[in-house]
Amino acid sequence: MTDCIFCKIAAGQIPAKKAYEDDDIVAFHDIAPKAPVHLLLIPKKHITSLFDAGADDQALLGKLLLLAPKLAKEHGLEAGFVTRVHTGAAGGQEVYHLHVHVLGQPAAA
Ligand code: 5GP
Ligand code: ZN
């Protein structure tokens, strides 16, 4: 997917403020945050949207979701956070590479 901005971020071809990376997943801060903490968790593999995920992606999708609370806690969201996955035009999807939003407000110190 040479024209996919999130593939380019996953490949390190476009800079992003990374919060996490392993062999399968990259997480980074949203460029236009809608909350004090706004992370995007993406598979390195290009999956266009949830509509395009298959049975082969089951473990990867589980891994993405399980990473959400771990990163949320690391960013001060122990009190709770919001996850969002936009799917398709009517679902508000703007970037067509599957991603999980993690949003929240850290508890006051
Ligand atoms: P969607 O509506 O597709 O779920 O959301 C896409 C998100 O990606 C938006 O919140 C937008 O701000 C973010 N985004 C788009 N382009 C970039 C980029 O180049 N870098 C980063 N870090 N975030 C981006
Ligand atoms: Zn992609």
What CATH number does residue 67 fall under?
3.30.428.10
Q: Give domain status of residue 69, yes or no.
A: yes
Q: Tell me how far the alpha carbon of residue 12 lies from the centroid of ligand 2, in angstroms.
A: 12
Among 53, 98, 52, 102, which Cα is nearest to 76's? 102
Q: Give domain status of residue 109, yes or no.
A: no
Q: Give domain status of residue 10, yes or no.
A: yes
The pTM of the full predicted model, rounded to 2 decimals, is: 0.97
> What amino acid positions are annotated as catalytic residues?
99
Three-state DSSP at 6 gives helix
Task: Report which ligand 1 atom has the smallest distance to the Cα of 99.
Answer: 4
Per-residue pLDDT of the chain (109 residues; tens, 9 = 90+): 579 999 999 999 999 999 999 999 999 999 999 999 999 999 999 999 999 999 999 999 999 999 999 999 999 999 999 999 999 999 999 999 999 999 999 987 6
The radius of gyration of the chain from alpha carbons, rounded to an integer in Å, stands at 13
Please state the length of the chain. Answer: 109
Q: Give domain status of residue 89, yes or no.
A: yes
Q: Considering its fold, how many domains does the chain have in total?
A: 1
Q: List the domain range (segments joined by +) for residue 67.
A: 5-104
Q: Which ligand has its closest atom nearest to the C-alpha of 9?
A: 1
